[in-house]
Structure 1
Amino acid sequence: MAITVKNRRVGIAPRKVRQVCDLVRNKKASEAIKILRFCEKKEIALMLTKLINSGLAIAADSDKYDIDNLVLTQIFADEGPTLKRVQPRAQGRAFRVRKRSSHVTLELKEA
């Protein structure tokens, strides 16, 4: 049985989140946290670290899992709602700015 943790409506584009998710996929939870600690994309790394820690807390409460052997089997970022804004430009024009968001899902299983 797996532990599934979700973080919805994260204010970061899913394309950027997927780059960091690819670094920690199929790694042990402790190793993934070490990788994220030194990742250059700090905001995304912090969000993913909190998500992993949340999954580990759920595992610790249930007493069914060995925390040392938990592996991130699935981690992916789906597209969330897009906020559409207007950026004023020269000569009365307006450009559309799309502020994208993402839904991040993480699954922990015992190895």
Structure 2
Amino acid sequence: MQIKASLKNIRMAPRKVRLTANLIKGMSAPRAKAQLAFLVKKPASLILKLVNSAIANAKHNFDIEANNLFVKAITVEAGATLKRWMPRAMGRASAIRKRTCSVILVLDELAPGSGKKKAAPEIDILKADEVLPEIKERETTKELPAKTLKPPGPAPARPHGASSKSKEKNFSRQTFGNIKKMFRRKSI
């Protein structure tokens, strides 16, 4: 029985997380936990939480003990990359890529068949004769009230009149040439 757990949008480069992830591939669950607990790398604590979560999933959902589990597969996939800029000399900027990743962990049983199986949900089959009278009753009882629509009122008055001359009076726009004349770097 395979048990899956995933960790998404980790703000670490996938290359760095893969170093820790590949370390526990194929290990038993208790041994992987011990390995990650004493590993001095930043992703180790996150992957340890993921392993604990997968073990809890196995125990709660399938009644499988942690000693009977091993890491079948662990994959680290690249996520979205946040793009940022770093200022450099002479007015340039260089790109910074802040990478993210997601980890998918698959645990499997050492001795298969020890856990409980998922019970298939029972499906009730209804006949058309049973359902149709209920639908007809609902349709007859629902009557939608007629909505009255109000006629639209007069349009609101324009704030500065309707003519273009009133706009010129209230709005003074400077052109790009006027700004250049006012803010010169060097005096003539």
- TM-score, scaled to structure 2: 0.57
Moved over 4 A (4+): none
Any idea what the Cα deviations from partners look like across 1:48-106, whole Å, max 9, x if unmatched?
00000101111111244232110010001000000000000111010000000001000
SS in 2 for 1:27: coil
Does the CA contact (< 8 Å) of 1:66 and 1:110 recur in 2?
Answer: no
| Structure ID, larger Rg | 2
SS in 2 for 1:31: helix
Aligned to 1:11: 11
Percent sequence identity over aligned pairs: 38
Aligned to 1:39: 39
Distance 1:66 1:58 in 2: 11
Q: Which amino acid aligns with 1:28?
A: S
Any idea what the Cα deviations from partners look like across 1:6-58, whole Å, max 9, x if unmatched?
111110100001001111000011100111112121x2010000000101111
Residues matched between the structures, number? 110
Higher-RCO chain (CA-CA 8 Å, sequence separation at least 6):
1
Please list, as runs of the form range in 1=range in 2, the aligned pairs for 1:1-111 lying within 5 A after superposition.
Answer: 1-41=1-41, 43-111=42-110
SS in 1 for 2:33: helix
SS in 2 for 1:17: helix
Distance 1:67 1:40 in 2: 24
Distance 1:67 1:29 in 2: 6
Q: Which has the higher helix share?
A: 1
Q: Which has the higher strand share?
A: 1
- TM-score, scaled to structure 1: 0.94
> For the aligned residues, what is the CA RMSD?
1.0
Q: Which amino acid aligns with 2:61?
A: S
Does the CA contact (< 8 Å) of 2:5 and 2:105 recur in 1?
Answer: yes
Aligned to 2:155: none
